[in-house]
Amino acid sequence: MTQIKVDALISKQFLAADLNEIRAMQEESKKKQIQVEIVWRNVLLFVALHIGALIGLYQLIFQAKWDTVGWVFLLHTLGSMGVTGGAHRLWAHRSYKARFPMRVFLMLINSIAFQNDIIEWARDHRCHHKWTDTDADPHSTNRGMFFAHMGWLLVKKHKQLKIQGAKLDLSDLYADPVLMFQRQNYLPLVGIFCFALPTFIPVFFWGESAFIAFYTAALFRYCFTLHATWCINSVSHWVGWQPYDHQASSVDNLWTSVAAVGEGGHNYHHTFPQDYRTSEHAEFLNWTRVLIDVGATLGLVYDRKTTAEEVIQRQCKNYGCEAERAKMLQKLG
Ligand code: ST9
Ligand code: ZN
Ligand code: ZN
């Protein structure tokens, strides 16, 4: 385990070259009315997905077999961990290292979630951390909670995002053959892992109707995982605790931790983005941490980065609130 001993602000500056520049960019983005160009293809696809998901929800409650209910839960958990443990903590942040079999496993379960290929996901996410709440943040909360949640996927991206994002070094992502394989085969992979297998497995193994399996385990589950992820962009920048940094928009929130298998400690995560745990919450609220720790026990994961206690305390004292941290950890574990 590697302990990060630098101040959070220094580590933030490592990400965001100049904090004053970011503050100025945030103020600038509040002033201007941004012209949006709606992408109607995405609007129609998301409307169709939500209609399908509502049909799936009805079937899940009233018609599906119990095995199918368990299957939906398992797929949500696996797909989410492919996003949290893979795209997010491993590839976007490099908060730990993983050997080839673990990276293949994470890439495959990431394809269950169908949230763009990992290289694109990580590029947008690095922009989110580096230019949070500015025009170069793909889902800036300055543009409203609906935009932060899902509206950003329904319109063309801001030109500042493309200009600033082009300055990022993504060579580590392009150098990983597992990510290049996913990128080159993305549509077949999501076809198989997000839609085909979730539908066929219930039909072949416990005789579920293909109609119910498709609407519950493919459409409803996909839509549910998307909203759980999007809640980190909206709810986790809106309602909750801020023990580590009072100036940030990010918060720690119990419910997003539960729905997003351990990603709800977002105030902690924005303050210490290189920490593989992404929060101080207990393991039962952080299943992704459990997955990474199991990987380490099996020798598939190494060099997990954590933040030293004295650094966390200094950060809370200077930029957050120690009493709030104590109260939150007492309540949330
Ligand atoms: C989805 C993603 O849902 C969800 C991500 C959530 C992120 C959450 C983050 C916080 C959570 C962390 C914890 C994880 C929790 C997980 C919990 C799990 C329960 N930098 O994009 P294009 C340039 S996906 C630099 O087409 P448009 C670049 O040149 C859902 N450059 O822009 C690019 O070309 P290329 C399914 C950038 O035309 C070119 O612009 N997927 C950047 O404006 C064109 O890019 C969808 O719905 C950048 N950041 O279109 C698809 N970005 O790529 C939705 C772009 O070749 N997306 N460039 O280099 C789209 O249809 C389009 O992207 C668009 C914008 C319409 C939104
Ligand atoms: Zn992050
Ligand atoms: Zn955030």
Range of the domain at 51: 2-332
Q: Contact 273/6 with Cβ under 8 angstroms?
A: no
Name the token pair of 288: 């992704």
92 close to ligand 1 (CB < 6 Angstrom) = no
* Three-class secondary structure of residue 143 per DSSP: helix
Q: Is ipTM beyond 0.95? A: yes
Does residue 82 contact residue 107 with C-beta atoms inside 8 Å?
A: yes
Which residue's CA is the closest to the ligand 1 atom numbered 24? 115
Rg (CA), the chain: 20
Please tell me if the CB atom of residue 161 comes closer than 6 angstroms to any atom of ligand 1. Answer: yes
Query: Is the Cβ–Cβ distance between 274 and 93 less than 8 Å?
Result: yes
The token duo for 131 is 């230019």
Report the domain count for the chain: 1
In tens digits, the chain (333 residues) has pLDDT values of: 766 654 444 445 445 456 777 777 777 777 777 889 999 999 999 999 999 999 999 999 999 999 999 999 999 999 999 999 999 999 999 999 999 999 999 999 999 999 999 999 999 999 999 999 999 999 999 999 999 999 999 999 999 999 999 999 999 999 999 999 999 999 999 999 999 999 999 999 999 999 999 999 999 999 999 999 999 999 999 999 999 999 899 999 989 989 899 999 999 999 999 999 999 988 888 999 999 999 999 999 999 999 999 999 999 999 999 999 999 998 877
Q: Which of 119, 146, 105 is nearest to 301 (CA)?
A: 105
> What is the Cα–Cα distance from 294 to 204, expressed in whole angstroms?
31
Query: Measured between alpha carbons, how far is 48 from 53 in angstroms, rounded to an integer?
Result: 9
Give the residue, out of 153, 173, 233, 287, with the most ligand 1 atoms within 8 A of its beta carbon, to mutate for a pocket test.
Answer: 153
Neighbours of 21 (CB within 10 A): 12
